[in-house]
């Protein structure tokens, strides 16, 4: 019986490490409500929401090489779907609202994606930005349907059929909704991991690196890109539903192009080349902004400055930085053990 090759052993080792790290992280997050302040917990909820959105966005950006500057469109669709379903249709169950949000996003994403994925690079970015702004101006202009700039309110939902209306908003958000969102993040992460590792993910990477060559090899480039686009839209809608349920409203700012810019900012901050980068990015962005807003009224300047530094000096993001650090540590360790 031949011994497993060293690379395979290393890979298994790395996978074990990843699984261990993931389990540890989940454990920490699950225990957090016992120790962290209620305010910190209310801020983790948007981290979860954005983490899901960024996992989707990065399927386009990191895996497929398509930079969307209009992804906020799908968060807004999720949020407005939640508003319409809970406000107008009297739907109470969050599960149904999530499904409704995903359905709405998929319905919009299919034509938008069909038109957009024929292009790459800056044209793709501009087309998605235009679609996002088209929706934004619809929300602003059709006041009688959408409530204009004030948006629409989102009613309190039930989780798994449980009526939790006796809880205060903060109790609801730092307790049941927190765990609900945590489970969603775990599920979304595992699903995305499967997707990225599957032959589908491989095809996406192949077309990213060389679209023409991939086509020669039988990759249906446009179809695969469209599938990635629709998937990422569905992830965005889940995030939008969570954000709207948390704040109790859906407003047009969600669809504005600078919100899309923030999503890209988060992804790059975390590191788009890494699978966990988006999760790191969402966390870092939300708490960085919260900290800066408490520090200075000129937090936009500070955030802009940080973005400049990240783009120039840490292009692989925080996840890349961490990876470099571990490699360096490991190399040192190897050197020492060899001595």
Partner 1 sequence: MKGQHTRGVLRRRDVIKGAGAVAAGVAVTGFPAIAQNTSLKIGILTPKGGIAATAGENGLRGCQWAVERLNKAGGIAGRKVELVVEEETNAQQTIERFNKLVLQDKVDMVQGVVSTGVALALGPVVEDSKKLTIMWDGTTQDGVTEKLPDARYCFKSTDNECEAVMASLLAIKHFKGKFKTIAGINPDYSYGRNNWAAFKAILKRYGIEYEVVAEQWPKVGNMEVTSFVAALKAAKPDLIFSSLLFADLPVFMQQAHAAELTKSSLMVFPAAGWQHTSLKKAFTPENMLFGHNTLYFGHPNPTPLQKEFVDWYVGTHKDYPHWEADRAYFAMESYKTAVEAAHKAKGGWPSQDDVIDTLKSGIKVQSLGGPGWFRKDNIAEQTFIQGLTTHKNAYDFCTLSTFDTMTSDVLQKPAGADFWKWIETAKFPV
Partner 2 sequence: MAAFAEIVLGGLFHAAVLFLVAAGLQLVFGVQKIVNLACGAFYALGAYVGASAAKWAIGVGLPTPLVLVVVLLAGLACAVIGPPLERVLRTVYDRDESFQLLLTFAFLLMFQDLFRIGWGANPQTTGSLFLSFGTLDLGLFKTPAYNVFVIAVAITVAAGLGWFLQRTNFGRLLRATAENRAMAEAVGVNARAMFSVVFTLGVALGTVGGALVVPASAASLDMAAELVVEAFAVVVIGGLGSISGALAGAVIVGLVRAAAIVFYAEAELLAIYAIVIAVLILRPAGLFGKEAV
Q: Are 68 and 48 in contact (CB under 8 A)?
A: no
Question: Which CB atom, from 123 or from 143, has the smaller least distance to partner 1?
Answer: 143
Q: What angle do CA 46, 260, 139 make, to 5 degrees?
A: 90
Residues comprising the chain, all counted? 339
Residue 210 interacting with partner 1 (CB under 8 A): no
80/236 Cα distance (integer angstroms): 12
Site string for partner 1, 92-131 (x = CB under 8 A): ----------------------------------------
- Binding residues for partner 1, how many (CB under 8 A)? 33
Q: Which stretch binds partner 1 (CB under 8 A): 26-34, 50-58, 89-97, 135-143?
A: 135-143
Residue 336 three-state SS: helix
Q: Which stretch binds partner 1 (CB under 8 A): 88-96, 207-215, 288-296, 323-331?
A: 288-296
Distance (Å) of CA 196 to CA 58, 61, 104, 335? 10, 12, 24, 34
Residue 93 three-state SS: strand
Judged by the rule CB under 8 A, the positions of this chain that interact with partner 2 are 61, 67, 69, 115, 118-123, 125-127, 129-131, 133-134, 137-138, 140-142, 257-258, 261, 264-265, 268, 298-301, 303-305, 307-308, 311-312, 315
Residue 147 interacting with partner 1 (CB under 8 A): yes
Q: The tokens of 96 are what?
A: 């149904």
Ramachandran angles phi, psi of 253, nearest 5°? -55, -30
Residue 168 interacting with partner 1 (CB under 8 A): yes
Question: Which CB atom, from 212 or from 339, has the smaller least distance to partner 2?
Answer: 212
- Which of partner 2, partner 1, none does 253 bind, CB closer than 5 to 8 A by kind? partner 1
66/45 Cα distance (integer angstroms): 27
Question: Which CB atom, from 166 or from 336, has the smaller least distance to partner 1?
Answer: 166
- Which of partner 2, partner 1, none does 80 bind, CB closer than 5 to 8 A by kind? none
Backbone CA torsion sign across 230, 232, 238, 239: negative
Residue 291 interacting with partner 1 (CB under 8 A): no
Question: Which CB atom, from 124 or from 285, has the smaller least distance to partner 1?
Answer: 285
Q: Where are the beta strands (DSSP E) in 96-190?
A: 152-153
Sequential DSSP letters for 167-207: S-HHHHHHTHHHHHHHHHHHHHHHHHHHHHHSHHHHHHHHH
Question: Which CB atom, from 6 or from 297, has the smaller least distance to partner 2?
Answer: 297
- Which of partner 2, partner 1, none does 193 bind, CB closer than 5 to 8 A by kind? none
Terminal C-alpha separation, the chain: 31
Site string for partner 1, 216-255 (x = CB under 8 A): ---------------------------x---xxx-x-xx-
Question: Which CB atom, from 298 or from 333, has the smaller least distance to partner 2?
Answer: 298
Residue 87: CB partners within 8 Å, gap ≥ 6?
Answer: 152, 153, 154, 155
Site for partner 1 in 11-70 (CB under 8 A): 37-39, 42-43, 46
Residue 170 interacting with partner 1 (CB under 8 A): yes
278/283 Cα distance (integer angstroms): 9
Q: Strand pairing partners for 249?
A: 153
- Which of partner 1, partner 2, none does 46 bind, CB closer than 5 to 8 A by kind? partner 1
Question: Which CB atom, from 22 or from 248, has the smaller least distance to partner 1?
Answer: 248
Sequential DSSP letters for 300-321: HHHHHHHHHHHHHH-TTHHHHH
Q: Strand pairing partners for 250?
A: 152
**Residues within the interface to partner 1 (CB under 8 A):** 37-39, 42-43, 46, 140-141, 143, 147-151, 153, 168-170, 243, 247-249, 251, 253-254, 290, 293-297, 299-300
């Amino acid at each position: 019986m031949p011994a497993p090759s060293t690379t395979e052993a290393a890979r298994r080792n790395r996978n074990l490490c990843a699984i261990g790290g993931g389990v540890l992280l989940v454990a920490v997050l699950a225990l957090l409500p016992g120790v962290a302040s209620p305010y910190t917990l209310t801020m983790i909820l948007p981290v979860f929401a954005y983490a899901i959105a960024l996992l989707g966005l990065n399927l386009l950006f990191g895996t497929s090489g398509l930079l969307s500057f209009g992804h906020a469109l799908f968060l807004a669709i999720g949020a407005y779907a939640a508003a319409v379903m809970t406000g107008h249709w009297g739907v109470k169950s969050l599960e149904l609202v999530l499904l409704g949000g995903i359905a709405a996003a998929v319905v919009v994403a299919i034509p938008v994606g069909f038109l957009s994925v024929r292009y790459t690079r800056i044209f793709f970015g501009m087309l998605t930005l235009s679609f996002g702004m088209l929706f934004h101006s619809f929300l602003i202009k059709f006041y009688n349907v959408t409530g204009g700039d004030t948006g629409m309110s989102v009613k309190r939902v039930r989780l798994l059929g449980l009526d939790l209306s006796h809880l205060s908003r903060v109790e609801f958000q730092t307790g049941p909704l927190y765990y609900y969102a945590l489970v969603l993040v775990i599920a979304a992460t595992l699903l995305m991991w499967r997707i990225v590792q599957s032959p589908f993910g491989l095809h996406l990477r192949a077309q990213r690196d060389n679209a023409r060559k991939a086509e020669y090899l039988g990759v249906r480039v446009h179809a695969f890109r469209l599938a990635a686009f629709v998937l990422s839209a569905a992830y965005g809608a889940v995030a939008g539903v969570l954000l709207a349920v948390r704040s109790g409203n859906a407003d047009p700012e969600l669809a504005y192009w600078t919100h899309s810019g923030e999503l890209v900012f988060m992804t790059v901050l975390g590191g788009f080349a890494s699978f966990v980068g988006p999760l790191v990015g969402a966390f870092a962005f939300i708490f960085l902004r919260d900290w800066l807003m408490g520090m200075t009224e000129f937090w936009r300047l500070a955030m802009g400055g940080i973005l400049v530094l990240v783009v120039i000096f840490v292009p692989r993001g925080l996840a890349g930085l961490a990876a470099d650090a571990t490699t360096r540590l490991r190399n040192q360790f190897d050197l020492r053990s060899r001595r």
